[in-house]
Amino acid sequence: MIGYPLGHSLSPAIHQAALKALGLVGEYRLYPIEPSSQGSRELDALLEQVRTGQIQGLNVTIPHKRTVLPLLDGLSPAAAAIGAANTLYLKAGRLVGENTDAAGFWADLSRQFQGRSFGSARVAVLGAGGSARAVVYALLEQGCRVTVLARRVSQAEELAAQFPAHHSHLTAGNLADFGLIASAWDLIVNTTPLGMSPHPAGSPWPQLVPFPPGTLVYDLVYNPRQTRLVQRAWEAGLPAVTGLGMLVEQAAIAFELWTGRQAPRREMLESVYG
């Protein structure tokens, strides 16, 4: 994995568990690369190692998910639409960028809330950063009606403009608009870092605004294991989960691209759930 910083990444444990479960010899390494001229040279060198087969593949995280795009030979439809790649692999001799976050999010959402139909669901996505783009893409592809709520409306509007083919199903709004945020939603997805350790008391949902009845809550934050947003949703009697399962699902998809083997999801989940 390339990114910066990488000190608390769970990805090595997840992928090592997968390799062990399948009896494959290999190692998942972290390559902390700063966004600098020296970092650019290190990044070029690592990409060349993938092209020559010295490295089977790479994960990409902040701050390189977008800057790596011009260095690749091609992009998957998802990576092109989202404008970011988190997984690199060789395909017919070409270095391809994929975004497994969108598929990983949808797979875990479907698993966590089995029996719930999301076709044409009304979804509020909190935040308009890189993670939000992947989530919005996944939701729109499934026919959901999405409203992106951000503290800076211009950022939400910019995200919405990236998906012109879905303009009738995608709107933007202000996260501080309590009237809008308290509307009737089938699903609320937090893509902001609010509530993440070391500041677990934070929450993107206003303290004085009640959750809409019957809403499902999905928080991409997974550290701590029970975020304040999830706790508040539980207190309101609502089903709510963190994004730890999404982390595993996106890793499983990447693992399958690199190895051609079906990922052992049970063992990968156990490596982080304990």
Q: 10: pLDDT confidence band, cut at 50, 70 and 90? A: very high
Cβ density class 156-190: b for 16+ within 10 Å, e for less = beebbeebeebeebbebbebeeeeebbeebbbbbb
Out of 19, 33, 43, 65, the active site residue is 65
State how far the alpha carbon of 90 is from the alpha carbons of 93, 153, 173, 231, 254, in Å: 6, 38, 40, 42, 12
Q: Residue 163: what pLDDT?
A: 94
Instruction: Compute the half-sphere exposure of residue 127: CA atoms within 13 Å on the CB side of its CA.
Output: 21
Residue 130: both structure tokens together: 């890189």
Domain ranges of the chain: 2-99+246-273, 114-238
Same topology between domain 2-99+246-273 and domain 114-238: yes
Q: Answer for the pair 128, 155: CB distance below 8 angstroms, yes or no.
A: yes
Residues 64-117: tens digit of each pLDDT: 999 999 999 999 999 999 999 999 999 999 999 999 999 999 999 999 999 888
Residues 147-196: tens digit of each pLDDT: 999 999 999 999 999 998 888 899 999 999 988 999 999 999 999 999 99
Q: Residue 168: what pLDDT?
A: 86
- Per the annotation, the verdict on 65 as an active-site residue is yes
Q: Residue 173: what pLDDT?
A: 96
The helix-helix angle for 244-259 and 11-22 (nearest 10°) equals 50
Q: 207 or 2: whose pLDDT is higher?
A: 2
Q: 273: pLDDT confidence band, cut at 50, 70 and 90? A: confident
Q: Residue 123: what pLDDT?
A: 97
The whole model's pTM is what? 0.94
HEC profile of the chain: CEECCCCCCCHHHHHHHHHHHHCCCCCCCCEECCCCHHHHHHHHHHHHHHHCCCCCEEEECCCCCCCCHHHCCEECHHHHHHCCCCEEEEECCEEEEECHHHHHHHHHHHHHCCCCCCCCCEEEEECCCHHHHHHHHHHHHCCCEEEEEECCHHHHHHHHHCCHHHHHHEEEEECCCHHHHCCCCCEEEECCCCCCCCCCCCCCCCCCCCCCCCCEEEECCCCCCCCHHHHHHHHCCCCEEECHHHHHHHHHHHHHHHHCCCCCHHHHHHHHHC
Length of the chain: 274
Q: What is the mean pLDDT of the chain?
A: 94
Mean pLDDT confidence for 248-254: 98
Q: Residue 164: what pLDDT?
A: 87
Going by DSSP bridges, is the β-strand pair 187-190/122-126 parallel, antiparallel, or unpaired? parallel
- 2-99+246-273 CATH: 3.40.50.10860
Tokens 């893409």 -> residue: 137
The neighbouring-strand residues paired with 149 are 126, 173
Q: Residue 105: what pLDDT?
A: 98
Q: Residue 167: what pLDDT?
A: 82
Q: 29: pLDDT confidence band, cut at 50, 70 and 90? A: very high
Residues 35-50: tens digit of each pLDDT: 888 888 999 999 999 9
Q: Residue 112: what pLDDT?
A: 95
CATH topology of domain 114-238: Rossmann fold (3.40.50)
